[in-house]
Homo-oligomer: A and B are copies of this chain.
Amino acid sequence: MKIGEAAKRSGVSAKMIRYYEEIGLLAPAGRAGNSYRDFDAREVHELVFIRRARALGFSIEEIARLLALWRDRGRPSREVKEIADRHVADLKARISDLQGMVDQLEHLTRCCTGDDRPDCPILADLASP
A binding-site residues for B, Cβ under 8 Å: 45, 48-49, 52-53, 55-57, 66, 69-70, 73-78, 80-82, 84-85, 87-88, 91-92, 94-95, 98-99, 101-102, 104-106, 108-109, 112-120, 122-123, 125-127, 129
Pair B75/A87 contact, Cβ less than 8 Å: no
Q: Which of B57, B75, B76 contacts A101 (CB 8 A)?
A: B57
Q: Return chain B residues, CB-CB under 8 Å to A78.
A: 114-116
Name the residue of chain B whose CB is nearest to the CB of A52. B126
Name 19 A/B residue pairs within 8 A (Cβ), A-sorted.
A53-B126, A56-B105, A57-B101, A66-B126, A69-B120, A70-B123, A77-B112, A77-B116, A77-B118, A78-B116, A80-B112, A81-B120, A81-B122, A84-B109, A84-B122, A87-B105, A88-B102, A88-B105, A98-B98
When distances are taken between beta carbons in the complex, the residues of chain B under 8 Å from A87 are 105
Instruction: Evaluate whether A125 and B52 lie within 8 angstroms (CB atoms) in the complex, with A84-B105, A94-B98 already known.
Output: yes
Most B CB atoms within 10 A — which of A52, A74, A105? A105
Interface-centre pick from A99, A127, A129 (highest chain B CB count, 10 A) = A127
Q: Is the interface of A mostly helix, strand, loop or mixed?
A: helix
* Distance of A111 Cα from B27 Cα, bound (Å): 31
Min CB distance A6 to B, Å, is 15
